[in-house]
Every structure is written in structure tokens, then in C-alpha cells.
């Protein structure tokens, strides 16, 4: 229970959605609880769209925004239940939820089936997450059909169902001050976790030992869960982009690539760092690392308002390609490498993505074929990398070197703010952070 909830950011977002739907109705459910096995569930996590508009984290909840002259925000949620609260924890119940989270009304979730047709009556359109689940689509269809069944009484049913996520995605692209503060805290926690990993990792440990250090720091600082499955990849595993097994014994001379970020108050962080398990880069490792770092720093210069989203990826590709030529990984001219895309042998992903409530956050990257223009309040990752698998065409001293460097970057009015800037990144900083 938290009776000190600041409901104003969520109420403000609801007002923006009211303006978007006009006289229509919006209906947004939270995520269902999911069984892990038999009668044991996964740790519950709310739906991001629902939470963005409510700040309400309990399952079995639905938000209804009734537009028009007499607009009202209604929360459907679980009733108080002492027996269930003994077993599962505190519930707000409709009365407390209405007061604390600033809804016009709050009703028991059990009444949703009866109330929805009443609220939909004479509305032109229903705005809801279409296709988010067959059960939810069926519930909306059932409610619309119930309204249609009242046609003889003069009531008209909605004639269209609109995916509300398109509107909410545009809203979520630009983070407000409340969101930015939470993301700064998520970034701070994750930065300290990465520093802890550098300080504690050593040859002879298993990857999961380092993963445990990350989890320890997250939870110690108030983050209950990671924003995504950790990647803790040593040696050849660093060349597997989404490696999750964390079961290899780390060897002297290995690099360790860690892609990990916590979720704090519903907001993600996403940091990648690569460092030597023994605390000292070899010469080939240092050379590849510097090539990636040069690309990452060049990208940072392109992350500013007015720039198209794709520009920094093009910068990363160009700088990395030149680095591959300088290292002898590729042959030919830079223009040839770029035209033929031979760089994709070692660099095969984009330079970054939106980040916010979801680690790969909501929002289009292109509209009608045109890349989004970066605007203040957008938050984006910057994560070039090089991944060198054993190959006859590659000098052996580069084999199994996988390096990615990733920061979370807020677009500001005059440039950008690196939210994860405190995480060691230069060769000297990383080696210093590895000292015990």
C-alpha cells in the first residue's frame, strides 16, 4: 500500500487522451496474471498502457474514459477482501482507489460486464487495444452486441473499434518530467550494478555468479525486477546477441559482455558494458573495444533534436566499418564495404531503440516511410557493437571477441543527456573499475 501516490501525472495523461477521443469511449485493461506452473504465478507486472494512465499496479483492473461534455474516468478494480489480503497482500478497493488515484468513479471489477454496455451506449467509437488478446477482443465485442440488443429502445451502438495504442504510442514517445526522473533513477541503479559486476567478476567464476551480483544491487536499491532478461556473456558467448544461459565458467583472458538494466517504478534502463574478466584488456581486445567506443561516441553527437532517427545508425555503421578496415577484419574501400554491407559479418543490428516503460518502448520509428525526427523528451539507446566469430578470413587473435557499449540517452532542447554516464566506459575507466 502507498497512500502517498502522486496521481497528478497520470491524471494529466488521461486528460490528453480525453482530448484525443472526443465524445468517444476508451477502455484499457491491465495485464492478466500468468501462471508459471500449476498454481504458482509469475511475479505480476501491470500492462504499460494501463499503468501509464493510472499509476495503479493491481491486476484485474480496467480503465474506462467516457468522453463528451460530461466526461469521466472510471476504474474497475478488485473489491476489498480480508481473506485474500491475508494470503496475497493489500488491496486498495474501489473507494480508496478512487480517492488516491483521482478517478471520478471506481467500481468493482465484477460489475464490468453489466456496466460496459451502459457506458458504450450512443458512443460512436470504442478506443481499446485491439488485438492485445482474444479474450479481451471478445469481451469488447460482447459489450457492443449487448448495446445493439437495445436498439428498439433508441440506443445506438458504437460503429467502429479503434486501436487506442496508436494514440498512446505518440504520447509515450515524449517523456514528461515525472517519467524522466524515474528513468534517471533506474539508470543510476543499473550503473551501480554494472560497476559492482566489474568489481567482483574474476576468472573461475560462472557467469551466473555475476548475474547474481547484478540482481543483488537491483533489489538492494529498490528495483524488484530486471527490465529484461540479463545477458551475461563471457568469451565466445559474447558473440551471441541474446545469450541468456549464464552457465559458462569464465576463463582468464575472457571478455565479459553484460547487457542488463533494472526496472524502477515501471520504467526501464538498458546498459551494456564489456570488460576483461581479469581486469586488463589484451591488445586485440583493446583495439576492437576502442573501435566500438569511437562509434558510440560519434553516435552521441548525432542524438539531438531535429535529427532523423536513422542518422546515428548510419554514423555507427560508417565509423565501425572504417574500424573494421583499420583492424584488417575487412578489405576494400569504405564505400565498397558500406555498399556491399560486408560489415554485417561483424555488426548486424541497429544502433538503438526507444526506451521507457518497456525496454523496447512504444512508438513508430517511421511514419509513411519517413524516419521520425528526434524531439526533446524522447529517450533512446545508443548501442553499437562488434562480434567476431572464428572464421578462416579473420586473424585468430580477434576470434571470440564480442563487444557492445550501450547508454540510455535523453534528447534535450539543446542536445542530449546521457542518463547512464556514470557507468565506466573508456578503456582506462573500465580497467580501473575492475580493480579489487
**Which CATH number fits the domain that encloses residue 63?**
3.40.350.10
> What's the whole-number mean pLDDT along residues 348-354?
98
Among 207, 404, 407, 408, the active-site one is: 404
Other Cβ atoms less than 10 A from the Cβ of 159: the count is 10
> What's the whole-number mean pLDDT along residues 232-261?
98
Domain that holds residue 311: 174-433
The answer to whether residue 1 scores a pLDDT higher than 70 is no
pLDDT tens digits, one per residue of 336-348: 999 999 999 999 9
Q: Is 105 a catalytic residue?
A: no
CA dist list (Å): 53 to 63, 113, 358 = 8, 22, 15
Boundary residue ending a domain (113, 145, 170): 170
The span from the CA of 243 to the CA of 240, in Å, is 5
Boundary residue ending a domain (147, 170, 193): 170
Residue with cell 572464428: 390
Q: Is 349 a catalytic residue?
A: yes
How far out from the chain centre does Cα 123 lie? 34
pTM of the model: 0.95
Is residue 158 located within the same domain as residue 132?
yes
Among 102, 178, 318, 360, the active-site one is: 360
Is residue 318 located within the same domain as residue 210?
yes
Among 211, 263, 361, 383, the active-site one is: 383
Is residue 21 located within the same domain as residue 76?
yes
The pLDDT-based confidence of 4 (bands split at 50, 70, 90) is confident
pLDDT tens digits, one per residue of 283-297: 999 999 999 999 999
Is residue 389 located within the same domain as residue 290?
yes
Is residue 318 located within the same domain as residue 224?
yes
The pLDDT-based confidence of 436 (bands split at 50, 70, 90) is confident
| Residue-level pLDDT at 295 | 98
Q: Is 39 a catalytic residue?
A: yes
First to last CA, the chain: 41
Among 36, 39, 152, 414, the active-site one is: 39
Among 91, 273, 387, 408, the active-site one is: 387
Is residue 268 located within the same domain as residue 161?
no
Q: Where are the alpha helices (DSSP H) in 330-399?
A: 334-340
Domains contained in the chain, number: 2
| Residue-level pLDDT at 167 | 97
Among 242, 335, 414, 436, the active-site one is: 242
Is residue 165 located within the same domain as residue 186?
no
CA dihedral 305, 308, 309, 312 (to 10 degrees): -90
| 392 within some domain | yes
> What's the whole-number mean pLDDT along residues 363-378?
96
Among 270, 361, 407, 408, the active-site one is: 270
The span from the CA of 320 to the CA of 257, in Å, is 18
Q: Are 403 and 394 contacting, i.e. CB atoms less than 8 angstroms apart?
A: no
| 390 within some domain | yes
Q: Is 46 a catalytic residue?
A: no
Boundary residue ending a domain (150, 170, 190): 170
Among 259, 263, 358, 407, the active-site one is: 259
pLDDT tens digits, one per residue of 130-157: 999 999 999 999 999 999 999 889 999 9
| 246 within some domain | yes
| 3 within some domain | no
Is residue 397 located within the same domain as residue 279?
yes
Q: Is 259 a catalytic residue?
A: yes
Is residue 306 located within the same domain as residue 352?
yes
Is residue 354 located within the same domain as residue 391?
yes
Is residue 340 located within the same domain as residue 229?
yes
CATH of the domain at 261: 3.90.230.10
| 2 within some domain | no
Q: Is 270 a catalytic residue?
A: yes
Q: Is 178 a catalytic residue?
A: no
Is residue 153 located within the same domain as residue 182?
no
The pLDDT-based confidence of 3 (bands split at 50, 70, 90) is low
Amino acid at each position: 500500500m502507498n497512500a502517498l501516490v502522486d496521481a497528478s501525472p497520470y491524471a494529466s495523461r488521461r486528460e490528453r487522451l480525453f482530448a484525443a477521443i472526443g465524445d468517444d469511449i476508451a477502455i484499457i485493461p491491465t495485464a492478466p496474471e500468468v501462471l508459471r506452473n500449476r498454481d504458482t504465478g509469475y511475479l505480476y507486472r501491470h500492462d504499460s498502457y494501463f499503468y501509464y494512465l493510472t499509476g495503479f499496479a493491481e491486476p484485474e483492473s480496467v480503465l474506462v474514459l467516457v468522453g463528451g461534455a460530461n466526461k469521466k474516468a472510471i476504474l474497475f478494480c478488485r473489491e476489498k477482501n480480508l481473506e485474500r489480503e491475508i494470503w496475497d497482500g493489500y488491496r486498495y478497493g474501489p473507494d480508496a482507489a478512487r480517492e488516491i488515484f483521482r478517478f471520478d468513479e471506481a467500481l468493482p471489477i465484477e460489475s464490468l460486464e453489466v456496466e460496459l454496455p451502459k457506458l458504450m451506449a450512443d458512443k460512436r467509437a470504442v478506443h481499446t487495444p485491439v488485438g492485445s488478446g482474444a479474450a479481451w477482443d471478445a469481451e469488447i465485442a460482447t459489450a457492443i452486441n449487448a448495446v445493439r440488443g437495445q436498439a428498439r429502445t433508441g440506443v445506438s451502438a458504437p460503429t467502429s473499434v479503434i486501436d487506442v495504442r496508436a494514440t498512446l504510442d505518440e504520447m509515450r514517445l515524449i517523456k514528461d518530467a515525472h517519467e524522466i526522473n524515474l528513468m534517471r533513477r533506474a539508470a543510476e541503479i543499473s550503473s551501480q550494478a554494472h560497476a559492482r559486476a566489474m568489481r567482483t567478476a574474476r576468472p573461475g567464476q560462472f557467469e551466473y555468479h555475476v548475474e547474481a551480483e547484478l540482481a543483488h544491487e537491483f533489489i538492494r536499491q529498490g528495483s524488484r525486477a530486471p527490465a529484461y532478461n540479463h545477458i551475461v556473456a563471457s568469451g565466445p558467448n559474447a558473440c551471441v546477441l541474446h545469450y541468456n544461459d549464464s552457465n559458462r565458467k569464465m576463463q582468464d583472458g575472457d571478455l565479459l559482455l553484460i547487457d542488463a538494466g533494472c526496472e524502477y517504478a515501471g520504467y526501464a534502463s538498458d546498459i551494456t558494458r564489456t570488460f576483461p574478466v581479469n581486469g586488463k584488456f589484451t591488445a586485440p581486445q583493446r583495439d576492437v573495444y576502442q573501435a566500438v567506443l569511437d562509434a558510440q561516441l560519434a553516435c552521441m553527437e548525432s542524438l539531438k533534436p531535429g535529427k532523423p532517427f536513422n542518422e546515428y545508425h548510419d554514423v555507427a555503421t560508417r565509423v565501425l566499418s572504417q574500424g573494421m578496415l583499420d583492424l584488417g577484419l575487412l578489405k576494400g574501400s569504405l564505400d565498397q564495404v558500406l555498399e556491399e554491407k560486408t560489415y554485417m559479418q561483424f555488426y548486424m543490428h541497429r544502433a538503438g531503440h526507444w526506451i521507457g516503460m518497456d525496454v523496447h518502448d512504444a512508438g513508430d520509428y517511421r511514419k509513411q516511410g519517413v524516419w521520425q525526427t528526434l524531439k526533446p523528451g524522447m529517450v533512446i539507446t545508443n548501442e553499437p557493437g562488434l562480434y567476431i566469430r572464428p572464421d578462416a578470413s579473420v586473424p585468430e587473435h580477434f576470434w571470440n571477441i564480442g563487444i557492445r557499449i550501450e547508454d540510455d540517452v535523453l534528447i534535450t532542447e539543446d542536445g542530449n543527456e546521457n542518463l547512464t554516464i556514470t557507468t565506466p566506459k573508456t578503456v582506462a575507466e573500465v580497467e580501473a573499475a575492475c580493480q579489487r
